[in-house]
């Protein structure tokens, strides 16, 4: 590659935030995921936020059809996708119009200048071309003629004109790789695998990728490059995973450790479908994946698989969890192990199917008829989905109870480097030993956990029946006796309470006492922790703690809360955890609510900290 004559300034930074935006048909999610993989391979921490419309294909060039992908990457300080992007890659005027409010003045805008035609600008609400009329004078603008460069590069490729223009995202990716000094090789390998049966398309995308890199290197429109610091990860093998992929791998690891087959029954629903798709790639004699005709069939098949001795799971989002609620009661009363992964999205009803929220907490805690307690956990990041789902599986089996794992669209679709654990790093599964056949009764209890034996069909001498009607403990016979129903209700409640012994002491980030504690759960963790650290740097007596267990709550939570004058609870809902904390501990926490389909960011939480301290 030829060296440019102009001397290029290199800006060194500890972390950076970039956003890619364009039409749904511009391949923005592919562009973003490839950039994320390249930064991960290059040794940087990262956090991503894919953001795309619910419509399968919104009108081209429309504001409603803009798809985005934001990524923060750099050293160990990266815990969120960032508040505002420093670099915006806009593939068309609509992408610029939608995202201009999400970048600060002085930021770099790299635009596909060829897409800023008069008609496209008008459709996006611009009277004139914003790249040329001076309205963006407070920003650094670089206009790249991506369409014409791609057409010139591929004029002899034999591809049709629409096929040629589809390659423009890889031209822009090549430009961005040059700016951040990233290697192209891993994307080339991905292309070779993706288009192995389409050699003309493969060669076209590879050619365009290198053309974009060379264009950036040999033109003098770029006056600077960025050198972003690398993280210092623990020694080990890493893989860049989305939260949904991590959830799937968590289930597979749990089944392997348990020594049982894995059954996953699910109905496709945004944004949880990728768990089903990931597990389907690994179907074998030990992994059964069932795409059910509806949500009810999905959970009922999983309950049947648990009865048959499999590690059973089902996945869904909020509307699907509503449909599963009756069957969840069946899993509770039969006391069978079952993992339910709920990837939360904006609601109610169909709501915002591709946007994130944390609004299913009430449903997870209370959304069943009768006194129907179960375990509720929440993953805090994409990589943590693996560990949370694995732990949920272990607890589900040990205590013979369903466990709901709450993730969200933000962490399910987002990605980060995941350190692959060795088998001996994963906790062992514990099962109540089966008694001798002549002593067996289906509702015998382990004195410590109150779990019942996991006997399954095919075990001679352990034949039994279970179902939705109340059972007589220990025999399992149907019982309408009022005293027995009280006894069984008490046992089911007490069993969940005893899971407190599985919860590690809470780790407070900062001092154990102070003026304010930021109490977060699930996907608010990264922003809450980052905001608390920023407050500490400014000398404020602020700490933070994140909850993984939401039922039962950690046994030491009450004492931890007493050490602070005020409790701030940031949530992507209308204050659901704040309601629970108020009821449980008779205190009045400060609720920071956000229901916009977007994750909380550290700036919002830091502002709330300063307003309340």
Count of the separate structural domains present in the chain: 4
Q: What integer pLDDT is reported at residue 1 of this predicted model?
A: 46
What are φ and ψ of residue 254, in 5° steps? -65, -45
Radius of gyration, alpha carbons of the chain: 26
Q: What integer pLDDT is reported at residue 287 of this predicted model?
A: 97
Q: Which two tokens stand for residue 266?
A: 């699910």
Q: Are residues 199 and 325 in the same domain?
A: no
Percent share of the chain, pLDDT over 70: 99
Please provide the DSSP assignment of 169-200 as one string: HHHHHHHHHHHTT--SHHHHHHHHHHTTT-HH
Asked if residue 509 is part of any domain, the answer here is no
Cβ-contact 48, 80 below 8 angstroms:
no
Q: What integer pLDDT is reported at residue 25 of this predicted model?
A: 86
Whether 312 shows a pLDDT value over 80: the answer reads: yes
Q: Are residues 298 and 355 in the same domain?
A: yes
The b-or-e profile of 529-559 (16+ CB within 10 A means b, else e) is: bbbbbbbbeeebbbbbbbbbbbbbbbeebee
Q: Which two tokens stand for residue 72?
A: 């923060």
Whether 8 shows a pLDDT value over 90: the answer reads: no
Which residues face 213 on adjacent strands? none
Whether 6 shows a pLDDT value over 70: the answer reads: no
- Highest mean pLDDT, choosing among 104-108, 389-393, 458-462: 389-393
Whether 117 shows a pLDDT value over 70: the answer reads: yes
Least trusted range by pLDDT, from 224-238, 446-460, 580-594 = 224-238
Average pLDDT, the chain: 95
Rounded average pLDDT over 483-494: 97
Q: Are residues 365 and 383 in the same domain?
A: yes
pLDDT digits (tens, 9 = 90+) for 543-562: 999 999 999 999 999 999 99
Q: Are residues 152 and 36 in the same domain?
A: yes
Asked if residue 4 is part of any domain, the answer here is no
Q: Are residues 166 and 114 in the same domain?
A: yes
Look at residues 389, 425, 346, 384 and name the one whose alpha carbon lies nearest to residue 529: 384
CB within 8 Å of 568: residues ≥ 6 apart: 516, 517, 518, 519, 589, 590, 592, 605, 608, 609, 612
Q: Are residues 284 and 405 in the same domain?
A: yes
Whether 291 shows a pLDDT value over 80: the answer reads: yes
Look at residues 331, 349, 348 and name the one whose alpha carbon lies nearest to residue 340: 331
Percent share of the chain, pLDDT over 90: 92
CATH number at residue 575: 3.40.50.920
DSSP element (H, E) containing 334: helix 318-334
pLDDT digits (tens, 9 = 90+) for 137-194: 999 999 999 999 999 999 999 999 999 999 999 999 999 999 999 999 999 999 999 9
Whether 355 shows a pLDDT value over 90: the answer reads: yes
Confidence label for 292 from pLDDT (cuts 50, 70 and 90): very high
Cβ-contact 34, 190 below 8 angstroms:
yes
Q: Which two tokens stand for residue 79?
A: 């815990």
**Residue 280 CA to its chain's centroid (Å):** 19
Question: Considering 479, 502, 525, which residue would you say is the last residue of a domain?
Answer: 502
Asked if residue 431 is part of any domain, the answer here is no
Rounded average pLDDT over 47-73: 89
Question: Considering 425, 445, 475, which residue would you say is the last residue of a domain?
Answer: 425
- Judge residue 155's burial from the number of C-beta atoms within 10 Å of its C-beta, 0-12 exposed, 13-18 middle, 19 or more buried: exposed
Q: Are residues 194 and 45 in the same domain?
A: yes
Q: Tokens 């963006």, residue?
A: 136
Whether 395 shows a pLDDT value over 90: the answer reads: yes
Confidence label for 26 from pLDDT (cuts 50, 70 and 90): very high
The range of the structural domain enclosing residue 480 comes to: 437-502
Q: What integer pLDDT is reported at residue 600 of this predicted model?
A: 96
pLDDT digits (tens, 9 = 90+) for 207-263: 999 999 999 999 888 878 999 999 888 889 999 999 999 999 999 999 999 999 999
Asked if residue 34 is part of any domain, the answer here is yes
Question: Considering 425, 445, 474, which residue would you say is the last residue of a domain?
Answer: 425
Q: Are residues 566 and 606 in the same domain?
A: yes
Asked if residue 577 is part of any domain, the answer here is yes
Rounded-to-integer distance, Cα 391 and Cα 375, Å:
11
């Amino acid at each position: 590659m030829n060296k440019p004559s102009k001397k290029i300034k290199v800006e060194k930074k500890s972390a950076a935030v970039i956003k890619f935006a364009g039409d749904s048909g511009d391949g923005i999610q592919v562009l973003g995921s490839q950039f994320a993989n390249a930064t991960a391979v290059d040794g940087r921490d990262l956090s991503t936020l894919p953001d795309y419309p619910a419509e399968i294909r919104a009108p081209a060039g429309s504001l409603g059809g803009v798809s985005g992908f934001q990524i923060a990457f750099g050293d160990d300080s990266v815990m969120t996708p960032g508040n505002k992007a420093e670099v915006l890659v806009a593939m068309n005027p609509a992408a610029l119009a939608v995202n201009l409010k999400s970048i600060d003045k002085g930021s770099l805008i790299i635009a596909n200048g060829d897409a800023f035609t008069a008609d496209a600008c008008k459709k996006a609400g611009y009277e004139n071309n914003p790249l040329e009329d001076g309205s963006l004078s407070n920003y650094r603008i670089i206009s790249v003629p991506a369409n014409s460069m791609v057409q010139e590069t591929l004029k002899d490729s034999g591809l049709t004109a629409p096929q040629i223009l589809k390659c423009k995202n890889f031209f822009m990716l090549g430009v961005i790789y040059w700016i951040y000094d990233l290697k192209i090789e891993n994307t080339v390998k991905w292309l070779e695998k993706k288009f192995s049966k389409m050699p003309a398309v493969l060669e076209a995308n590879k050619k365009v990728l290198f053309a974009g890199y060379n264009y950036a290197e040999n033109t003098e429109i770029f006056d600077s490059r960025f050198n972003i610091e690398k993280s210092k990860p623990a020694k080990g093998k890493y893989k860049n995973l989305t939260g949904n992929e991590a959830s799937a791998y968590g289930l597979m690891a749990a089944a392997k450790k348990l020594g049982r087959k894995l059954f996953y029954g699910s109905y496709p629903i945004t944004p949880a479908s990728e768990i089903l798709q990931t597990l389907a790639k690994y179907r074998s004699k030990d992994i059964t994946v069932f795409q059910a005709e509806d949500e009810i069939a999905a959970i009922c098949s999983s309950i049947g698989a648990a009865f048959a001795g499999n590690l059973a799971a089902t996945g869904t989002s909020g509307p699907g969890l509503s449909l599963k609620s009756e069957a969840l009661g069946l899993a509770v009363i039969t006391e069978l192990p079952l993992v339910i992964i709920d990837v939360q999205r904006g609601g109610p009803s169909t709501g915002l199917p591709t946007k994130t929220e944390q609004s299913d907490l009430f449903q997870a805690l209370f959304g069943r008829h009768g006194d129907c307690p179960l375990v509720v956990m929440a993953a805090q990041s994409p990589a943590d989905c693996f560990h949370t789902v694995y732990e949920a599986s272990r607890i589900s089996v040990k205590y013979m109870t369903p466990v709901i794992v709450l993730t969200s669209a933000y962490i399910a679709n987002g990605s980060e480097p995941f350190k692959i654990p060795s088998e001996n790093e994963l906790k062992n599964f514990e099962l109540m030993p089966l008694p001798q056949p002549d002593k067996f009764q289906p509702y015998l209890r382990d004195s410590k956990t109150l779990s019942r034996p996991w006997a399954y069909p095919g075990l001679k001498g352990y034949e039994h029946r279970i179902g939705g009607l109340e059972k007589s403990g220990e025999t399992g016979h149907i019982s309408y006796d009022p005293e027995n129903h009280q006894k069984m209700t008490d046992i089911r409640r007490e069993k969940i309470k005893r899971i407190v012994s599985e919860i590690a002491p809470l780790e407070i980030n900062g001092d154990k006492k102070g003026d304010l504690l930021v109490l977060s759960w699930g996907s608010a963790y990264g922003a809450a922790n980052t905001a608390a650290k920023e407050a500490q740097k400014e000398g404020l007596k602020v700490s933070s703690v994140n909850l993984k267990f939401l039922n039962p709550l950690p046994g030491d939570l009450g004492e931890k809360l007493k050490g602070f004058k005020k409790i701030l609870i940031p949530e992507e809902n209308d204050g659901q955890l704040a309601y629970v904390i108020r009821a449980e501990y008779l205190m009045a926490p400060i609720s920071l609510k956000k229901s916009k389909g977007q994750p909380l960011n550290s700036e919002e939480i830091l502002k709330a900290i300063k307003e309340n301290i």
